Amino acid sequence: MKNLPQIINEVAAIKNSVQGAMGMLKTGQIMELHNVESRVKDVCATIQNLPANDRKTVQPHLMALLDDMDQYYAEMKSRHGELLEQIKQLNPNRQAMNAYSKAANIKNTTDED
């Protein structure tokens, strides 16, 4: 069983991973956080076995992690919305390019006659 400082260090390490992912997201990069969920589950399972006083000691660390995870989710949601808007803006451009291509092909086939 992990002791209290080890648990707090693990929560801090997870928090650092989330903050690192958020920093990368702000620069347009994506960092996979697939192992964060399992790490959080493991820490929470360990915390459940702690005495009440130790759980109270860990609580502010968990709340800070939760805040960072909420912030990361909000940033991801915002980026997702931005990407959807960019895709919507690309669609009319693509339609115009397709129309231009078709017009150019028609012109090329009529020029050959």
Domain ranges for the chain: 4-111
Residue listed under structure tokens 């990069």:
29
Helices 52-111 & 4-26, crossing angle to 10 degrees?
20
Each residue's pLDDT tens digit, 39-60: 999 999 999 999 999 999 999 9
Most confidently modeled of 34-38, 47-51, 98-102, 105-109? 47-51
Give the pLDDT of residue 57: 96
> pLDDT band at residue 32, thresholds of 50, 70 and 90?
confident
CA angle 86, 87, 93 (to 5 degrees): 95
> What is residue 94's predicted lDDT score, i.e. its pLDDT?
62
CB atoms within 10 A of CB 22: 19
Q: What is the CA radius of gyration of the chain?
A: 25
pTM over cut 0.85:
no
Rounded-to-integer distance, Cα 30 and Cα 101, Å: 35
Q: Per-residue pLDDT for 18 more than 90?
A: yes
